[in-house]
Amino acid sequence: MKRLYSATLQANRAEVVAVESAFVRALPGFSIVGLPSQSIQESKDRIKSALLSVGFQFPAQKITINLSPSDMKKSGSHFDLAIAVLIALQKEPVSFEDVFIFGELGLDGKVKSTATLFSLLLSLASNRQSFQVVVPKAIAQRAAQIPNLIVYGVESLDEALALFSTPEFKEKLLHVSIHPLFKNPLTIANKPYIVHNSYPLDFKDVKGQERAKRAALIAAAGMHNILMEGSPGCGKSMIAKRLQYILPPLSIQEVLQTTAHCSLAGDDSDFQAFRPFRSPHHTSSRPSIFGGGSAQAKIGEVALAHNGILFFDEFPHFSKQVLESLREPLEDGRVLISRVNSKVVYPTKFLFVAAMNPCPCGYMLSLDHPCRCSEVEISRYRSKLSGPLLDRIDLHVQMEESKHEGSLIDSKKMHMQVIKAFKFQKQRAQEEFNSHLEGEDLAKFCTLKEDAKRVFEQASVKYGLSHRGRDKALRVARTIADLDESEDILPSHILEGLSFRKR
C-alpha cells in the first residue's frame, strides 16, 4: 500500500485527506471508497485515459483507492492527479514524504486547475507549518506566494511522475515567489505581522465627534463591540467605514484565512493588509448573514467578517430573528450551522459595529430639527433591541450634533496608537485581544490595585452591572490602560470605560 495526501473543503475549512492505494488479487477492476462525491467517482474514466496516454499498463488485479477519513464526504475533481500518481507508481520504490498533490486530469494527461484550489491551499497553509504541494503549473506561481508552501508546478501527468522518480528533475519544477506584502513584516514578540501605511478613508474627514473618535480608538485597540446612536448625517457611517484602517495588524495566518474566505465568496482573493469589512443590508436574510444551505452549509457575512469588522447600519431595522441570532457569535466567537446531513462551526471573532437613529424619524436628540415621533413609536422602535443583545456591546456612544470644525486627529495617528497598544498586549504574552479575554486570562491581565478595585466595586453597584457587564467593563478599562502603556488598570481607566456603558 502507498499513501499521499490531498484535501477537501468542508464549508470554509480545508480538511486533510489521506489517499491510499492497494492492488489486490481479484478480478480486474477500479474502485474508489471513502464517501467520494459524484465528481470523484467520474474521475475513474479520466484517470484511466490519462494513465494510458503515458503508456501505463493496467495489471490483472483489482485497484482500490481509499480516501481517509472514510466518514467524511469528499468532493472536487482535484483528487485526479493524486490517484493517478499512486496507481502509476504503486510498484516503484518511491517515497512520497507527506507530499500534498492537487490537480484535475484531462483525457490526454494534461493537469488542470479547479475553481476552489487556491482557497484550499490558503486554508491548508493557515493551519499547517511548511509543507510540499504539487499543483497545476497554471496556478503554481500564484500558489508559491503563499507562505508555508513549497510548490512544484506540473503541466502533465508525465511531469508529475518524473517529479517523484527522477530527483534531478524536481528542482526544475520548483516555483519560488514572495508576495510584496510578506517581504517586510513587522516583528512583535518574535512573530511577524503585516502592517499597512495607506488610509483610503481618513478620520480627518470627520468633523467634530471627538468623543466618538475616542470610542472608535478604544474599540480598534481592543476589538470591542461598539454602538453609535445619533441623528442622520452626524457621521456614524463615516466613523464605521474608517475603523477598518486603524485596526491592529494581521498575522500571516490571519491574512491567509481572510483571503481564503474572500476566495470562497467569489470576491477579490489577492492578499490584503487590511482586515475585512462586511456591511450587510438590513433587508438581508438570516442565512445570508449567518450562513446556511440544505445540502452543504455555506459561509455567511459573520464568517466573512472573522478577524475584521461586521457593520450593521440602521441596527433596529434588521429582523428580530437576525438580531437575536447575533447573541451567539458575539458571546462565543463562533456560530453553529446544524443540518440533518452536517454540522458546521465557523469562527466569528470580529469587531461588531452598529449604528442607529434615536427614534424612527431620527431627530429626537437634535436641537435644530423637531422630532415627529410619538412615545409609542419611539418605544416600539427601541424595543427591537433586547437587553441581552445590548449587554453584549462594550461601547455605547451618543453622537454630538454635526459640527464643521476641523479634526484634531487623523487615521495615521490613531493607527500608530493602536499598534503601540497592540505591542504592549503582545509583550505581556497575551494571545487574544482584550475583548476576547476569558477566565484565567481575564484575571491574569486585568489586574486592579486597591484604589482601582474600590472604584470598580462602587461603580458596579451604582450601575447594577451584571457578571457579563463587569467583565466587559474590565476589558474596556484594560484597553484604555494599554493605550496609556500602563501595566495596571487605574481608577481613571475604569471611569472612562464606564462612561461608555449603556445607562
Alpha-carbon distance 198 to 190, whole Å? 25
Q: Tens digit of pLDDT for each residue in 58-101?
A: 999 999 999 999 988 899 999 999 999 999 999 888 877 789 99
Residue 85 belongs to domain spanning: 2-177
Q: Are 236 and 230 in contact (CB under 8 A)?
A: yes
Say if residue 20 is in the same domain as residue 124.
Answer: yes
Helix or strand (DSSP H, E) at 330: helix 327-332
> Both 70 and 125 in a single domain?
yes
Q: How far apart are alpha carbons 311 and 244 in whole angstroms?
A: 10
Whole-Å CA distances, 181 to 116, 194, 196, 269: 23, 7, 9, 14
Q: Is residue 475 part of a domain?
A: no
Whether residue 439 lies inside any domain: the answer is no
What's the rounded Cα separation, in Å, for the pair 499 and 384?
24
pTM: 0.90
| 34, three cell numbers | 471513502
Q: Which pLDDT value is given to residue 67?
A: 97
Residue 340: band (very low, low, confident or very high) from pLDDT cuts 50, 70, 90: low
Q: Are residues 126 and 232 in the same domain?
A: no
What would the pLDDT profile of 12-70 be if each residue is shown by its tens digit? 788 999 999 999 999 999 999 999 999 899 999 999 999 999 999 999 999 999 999 99
pLDDT per residue as tens digits for the range 132-160: 999 999 999 999 999 989 999 999 999 99
Q: Are residues 161 and 246 in the same domain?
A: no
Residues 7, 112, single domain; the answer is yes
Read off the DSSP letter of residue 313: S
Indicate if 283 and 364 belong to the same structural domain.
yes
Q: In this structure, is residue 445 part of a structural domain?
A: no
**What is the CATH classification number for the domain harbouring 241?**
3.40.50.300
| Cα distance between residue 151 and residue 128, in whole Å | 15
Is residue 140 domain-shared with residue 196, that is, in the same domain? no
Cα Rg of the chain (Å, integer): 27
Task: State percent of the chain over pLDDT 70.
Answer: 96
**Contact indicator for 304, 288 with CB cutoff of 8 Å:** no
Q: Is residue 124 part of a domain?
A: yes
**407 has pLDDT over 70:** no
Give me the chain's average pLDDT, please.
91
Q: Is residue 150 part of a domain?
A: yes
Q: How far apart are CA 41 and CA 225, in angstroms?
A: 47
Residues 6+ away with beta carbon under 8 Å from 483:
217, 218, 221, 417, 420, 421
Do 180 and 418 contact (CB within 8 A), yes or no? no
What gap in Å lies between CA 306 and CA 256, rounded to an integer? 12
* End-of-domain residue from the set 349, 375, 405: 405
Whether residue 492 is contained in a domain is answered as no
Question: Residue 94 is part of a domain; what is its CATH number?
Answer: 3.30.230.10
Q: What is the pLDDT of residues 287-304, one digit of tens each?
A: 899 887 655 667 789 989
Q: Residue 355 in contact with residue 314, Cβ under 8 Å? A: yes
Residue type, 78: H
SS3 477: helix
Q: Which residue has the higher pLDDT, 96 or 319?
A: 319
156 located within any domain: yes
| Residue keyed to cell 516555483 | 175
Q: Do the domain assignments include residue 461?
A: no
- Shared domain for 112 and 153, answered yes or no, is yes
**For residue 451, what are the β-bridge partners?**
none
When pLDDT is cut at 50, 70 and 90, the band that residue 406 belongs to is: low
Contact 481, 221 (CB under 8 A): no
Q: Are residues 151 and 192 in the same domain?
A: no
Confidence of residue 255 (pLDDT cuts 50, 70, 90): very high
Number of domains in the chain: 2
Report, as an integer, the average pLDDT of 168-195. Answer: 91
- Select the more confidently predicted residue: 365 or 11: 365
Q: Nine-digit cell at 341? A: 446531513
Of 405, 438, 472, the last residue of a domain is 405
3-state class (DSSP) for residue 67:
strand
182 to 151, 194, 450: CA distances (angstroms)? 17, 7, 45
Of the residues 387, 405, 423, which one is the last residue of a structural domain?
Answer: 405
What was the pLDDT predicted at 34? Answer: 95
